[in-house]
Amino acid sequence: MESKKIIFIPGWMHTVKFYGDYDGLEIWNQDFDSNVAVTADCIVAYSIGTNFAMLNWQKDSGKKLILVNPLIAKRNPFGWFWCWIKYYFSEGNIPDKNINKIKIFSGLIRAYRILKNDFTEIIKNIPNENLIIIRGRGDNYFCPMSGVPFLMEQCSQLVEVENAGHNWNDELKREVDKLI
């Protein structure tokens, strides 16, 4: 039996290594070409990495997407910044020691370019059978409970993880590993 190629796309200013033993794309690397099509059977993406995955899915549709704590709501940059501030003081950001802190400015620019798209429209174009969403039940800022009804309409499966918020943790990893 041929194994599936699975690619992991990390959240903002984190490396793939931060999440575990996955093959992945280092999209926060300054030299990364965001126009490259991702060749994989399945893409697993976390947080703002889910937005990159959805944009990329349009280039090569047909692959399965597993989105963990996706950022779907349409907000202006100040709205996203306000969500991040509330999240930071609630859950706290877990820094990745593998990331070059000098790249934060370029990471902000890349995040802005990604988030200026309307993902409520993009996700509607992804067939339900190609989409699974994992959501930390305690994610109150980026993938809040108010968005769950919309997400349930869009995917084949919505998994809510009881002991998780927005931050990546062992519970979210376990759910991802079960699905892949």
pLDDT in tens, the chain (180 residues): 345 689 999 999 999 999 988 999 998 876 777 777 778 889 999 999 999 999 888 776 778 999 999 999 889 989 999 999 999 999 988 888 888 777 788 888 889 989 998 899 889 999 999 999 999 999 999 999 999 999 999 999 999 999 999 999 999 999 999 998
Q: Retrieve residue 71's tokens.
A: 């950022």
- Widest distance between CA atoms in the chain: 49
Was domain 6-179 assigned CATH 3.90.1150.10?
no
Rounded to whole angstroms, the Cα distance separating 103 from 149 reads 36
The pTM for the full model equals 0.91
Report the C-alpha gap between 134 and 124 in whole angstroms: 17
Domains of the chain, residue spans: 6-179
Alpha carbon distances (Å) from 61 to 38, 40, 103: 10, 11, 31
